[in-house]
Amino acid sequence: MGKIADAMAALDKDKLLAEVKAEIEVHRDPLEIVEEARKGLEYVGSEFEKGKYFLMELMWASQIFKDAMELIGPEIKKKHGISEAKGRILMGTVKGDIHDLGKSIVRDLLTAAGYEVVDLGVDVAPEAFVEKITSFQPQVLGLSALLTAAVSQASVTVEDLKKAGLRDKLKVIMGGGVVGEIKVSEFGVDFATTNANEGIRVMEKWIAEAKG
């Protein structure tokens, strides 16, 4: 895969940052450096889905990717200006729930993968989602819920989207520890998962299909 991707895949932060610095010093195109690091990150994601890496390792991977981006980001701006995002995704934890972790992992991994992600935070009211969708126009809305009591808020949000005429303009995915046993159709969402990487794959597929 290359030294950067290998270091990323091995979750070796020191080696990753050393390799990134070395490549920057020899004036390698920073977009190439990012792509190689992303390949390593994708490898971590695929190993996570196979059960070979675990959630803490996935979180660590997104953290060291961010560390690497702190070195690479300024170089990209210098050489290419602002690069275009692969797609737009809006996220938030539904009203009545303040759990942040799962959503933040997915947000960081999506950002690392090159998507523009707006995270509305936790305990987000349906009307706040509607308002932001109108201005941000995401292709995907990601709803997070960990409390059983909050899961039903997803359907309230979806109903509000319908009333605002926005439901057909985007896909809706729900994630969280308790959504694994729910029936997707009952909550009006397009997909539900407890697995961060599976959710990311589904969102990437949706956005790729929308682009044709």
Partner 1 sequence: MAESMNSYERLELAWNLKEADRVPVAPVNCYIFPWLGGINMREMFLEPDKLIDATIKARELLGGGDNVDPNITTLNHLGMFGRAGWDQATLDWRIWDDFPPKGNLPSLYEKQMITDYDDVMKRGFAPILYSKNVSNQLFKRSIDDFLYYEYEYPKIYAAAWKEYVEKYEVPLLMGGRACHPLDMLQYYRGISTLTRDVFERPDKVIEISEWWIEYETTLAMRDAMIMGAGEVPGSEIIFFINGGPPGMSPRIFDKIFWPIAKKMIDVFVKRGFKVHCHWDNDLTPHLDTMSHMADGLPKGKIMLDLEKTDMKKAKEKLGDKVAIFGNVPSSILVYGTPNEVDKYCKKLIEDCAPGGGYVLSTECETPWDSKPENVKAICDAAKKYGQYRR
Interaction site with partner 1 (CB under 8 A): 11, 13, 51, 53-60, 63, 95-101, 104, 123, 147-152, 177-182, 186
| Closest separation in Å from C-beta 54 to partner 1 | 4
User: Measured from the CB atom, is 94 or 141 closer to partner 1?
Assistant: 94
| Closest separation in Å from C-beta 102 to partner 1 | 9
User: Measured from the CB atom, is 31 or 147 closer to partner 1?
Assistant: 147
| Closest separation in Å from C-beta 108 to partner 1 | 9
Classify each residue of 31-52 as buried b or exposed e, where b means 16 or more C-beta atoms within 10 Å of its C-beta.
eebbebbbbbbbbbbebbeeee
Of 34, 55, 44, nearest to 8 by C-alpha is 44
Three-state secondary-structure class, residue 116: strand
User: Measured from the CB atom, is 117 or 150 closer to partner 1?
Assistant: 150
User: Measured from the CB atom, is 166 or 194 closer to partner 1?
Assistant: 194
Dihedral Cα 144, 146, 147, 148, nearest 10 deg: 90
Q: What angle do CA 149, 118, 20 make, to 5 degrees?
A: 120
| Closest separation in Å from C-beta 155 to partner 1 | 11
Torsion angles phi and psi, residue 27, rounded to 5: 65, 35
